[in-house]
Structure 1
């Protein structure tokens, strides 16, 4: 909740309170709520009330990493608002979430480092008056959750998550960034693969699943990254045997030689070589969701992330995490180098 006096009007000015009907949503859904304005001692004129979605993101340039607040969606709630002395106005709003909105929680557990917020901005005489952020918890779509559960069943261990500025070659992104969820591999692959990164790019019709494995470099072993990509309709993704599919991909990546390195896989550029991720070149990376492999059962991704995140989160609540992550934000999208 954001409640503050508008600094442009000084003492006696109106106060604004932004309230979300629910603090939890999934990508593609619409967040609703209201902006409540309580008039002060004098009449006030507000040119625009704007809501925006922001997240913490990283960018790499010149060999350095830069971190900052990235705005990725804006909605003008209302224009030309006049507030009489002591008048109360409740202005309802609808804020559609892009399908590529980053996931910030799996089950009841917040992903360490992941933050998404709704920022309220009031434009008064062409000058923005920006307030604090309302935290928003973004949970996976059912299609995404099916993939995450498979990671848990296979014995992956959650490592970290972040948002990176950039685009993935060959994937139809709408936003200028993508989320990476990083995992340590299962024990049987730990000696040959150091980590696996998972990226979702969702659309109204389906979801892209992009995998990147960092193969351990050793004596007489080329190492390097191996990539895989996959696209499927949301409904089919919920019934696909992802544990078998990802398990087979990981086995191939861990066991095979240079052919499974980066460069030739069409997911990340270079030629039209068979996609090694899912083993069916004639299907161009598509998988038959009606074919089910060996059934594997495990704790599921919620349990895996909960266990790994407990130490990182400690006693913090989501409001504290949002405040810490956006501390020092001046309302812009500038990035500070590290």
Structure 2
């Protein structure tokens, strides 16, 4: 679905913009491509720039509760410096790489409830307007998919996913927010863990995997959170038994009493543990996806379905003023 509107700041008779992304989901760090279609207005206009902006719906925790807002996390100029004649039709092709930490929005084609958009800003004759916004679909990297598949094979289930404003200490995080994927525990851990939260922080060389377990209390102890961080290389995807590796991670996480930060480089396949900032999400806004023999995402059983997520992208981002989106990258 393409969301279009007339450039309101230019008034009636101004040019219009329609950005069409190439079909299919893109991987983090992969190339986003498409065409920006322009249609001239009732007069000639000087197009100073065409800028694409990646925007995400992000949750923020405050002392008095939670709030949601739009955060712009990447901008890329794809064209400009030409004159658009009256009623002229022109297409501007583009391609650029997504940030490596771009959140994943789907798994095996099923929506995770994460809302990302590509917003088009057209600068014309000293004015600018965000005249077009399109939903962005991001599939996991092969190593991310292998890890999620292993969780499913081990009996964990998908609960929800959301984006949290803030940073995770002791990591190489680049964006002002991070993605949390909340999992229900496998039966063998259900008596000790309420849920497990999984965060991927991808980079050119590899992947940081941050795990947090909400551990149950015992007769003589209170429940608490256990944190751990592991690093893997992108090339590990074909040479590791991921069921065994993820099982080791969970066993070590569940047996931990307190986190001990110890950063490790990509490719260090030992168990390096980090410390998170204690920022925890609530139930989230994601789709409830059943876990089964085929992995985490074998079907949608509740929450928002893909079409609803696509429809709400325009509704959500159209309501945010441009200053909020541009300033949203500052951690509050």
TM-score, scaled to structure 1: 0.82
Deviation at 1:212, TM superposition (A): 0.7
Cα distance in structure 2, aligned partners of 1:284 and 1:249:
8
Give the 3 Å change call, closer, same or farther, for CA 178–17 of structure 1 in structure 2: same
How far 1:154 sits from its partner (Å)? 0.7
Counterpart-to-counterpart distance in 1, 2:174 and 2:312: 27
Closer/same/farther in 2, CA of residues 310 and 27 from structure 1, 3 Å limit: same
Match of 1:330 among 312, 321, 332: 321
**Which residue pairs with 2:258 in the alignment?**
262
How far apart are 1:187 and its partner, in Å?
1.6
> In the alignment, what sits opposite 2:74?
73
The Cα of 1:120 is off from its aligned counterpart by: 0.4
Structure 1 residue aligned with 2:247: 247
The CA deviation at 1:98 is 0.4
Describe the shift of the 1:229–1:263 C-alpha distance in structure 2 as closer, same or farther (beyond 3 A): closer
Other structure's SS at 1:204 match: coil
Q: Does 1:301 align with 2:296?
A: yes
1:13-57, Cα deviation, whole Å (9 max, x unpaired): 222111112242110111111111111221122322110101111
Give the aligned length.
304
Q: 1:23 to 1:328 in 2, by over 3 A?
A: farther
State the distance in 2 between where 1:2 and 1:85 align: 23
Q: Check the 8 A contact 1:201/1:209 in 2, yes or no.
A: yes
Q: Which runs of 5+ in 2 are unaligned?
A: 274-291
- Asked if structure 2 preserves the Cα contact closer than 8 Å seen for 1:189 and 1:251, the reply is no
Matched, 1:11 2:12: yes
Residues 313 and 162 of structure 1, relative CA distance in 2, 3 Å threshold? same
Which residue pairs with 2:209 in the alignment? 209
Candidates 267, 282, 285, aligned match of 2:272? 285
| Unaligned residue ranges in structure 1 (runs of 5+) | 273-279, 287-296
Deviation of residue 219 (structure 1)? 2.4
CA 1:153 to 1:10, structure 2 compared with 1: closer, same or farther past 3 Å? same
1:228 counterpart residue number: 228
Q: Give the distance between the partners of 1:68 and 1:84, measured in 2 at CA.
A: 37
1:57 matched to 2:53? The reply is no
Residue range with higher mean Cα deviation, 231-240 or 153-162 = 231-240
Classify 1:64/1:184 alpha carbon distance in 2 versus 1 (closer, same or farther; 3 Å): same
CA contact (8 A) 2:40 2:85 kept: yes
Superposition RMSD in Å: 2.5
User: How far does residue 265 in structure 1 lie from its aligned partner after superposition?
Assistant: 4.2
CA shift digits 1:206-234 (9 cap, x unpaired)? 11111111101232124311122111111
Answer whether contact 1:22 1:31 (CA < 8 A) is retained.
no
Choose 193-202 or 4-13, whichever is displaced more: 4-13
1:131–1:209 Cα change, 3 Å: same
1:319 CA displacement: 2.2
Displacement of 1:261 after TM fit? Answer: 2.8
Q: CA deviation at 1:321?
A: 3.8
Match for residue 290 of structure 1? none
Q: Over residues 237-270 of structure 1, what are the superposed CA-to-partner deviations in whole Å (9 max), with x where a residue is unaligned?
A: 343222222223333444x4xxx13343436xxx
Deviations 1:148-193 (Å, cap 9, x if unpaired)? 0001001111111011122222211221211110001012211210
Choose the corresponding residue for 2:304, options 310, 313, 317: 313
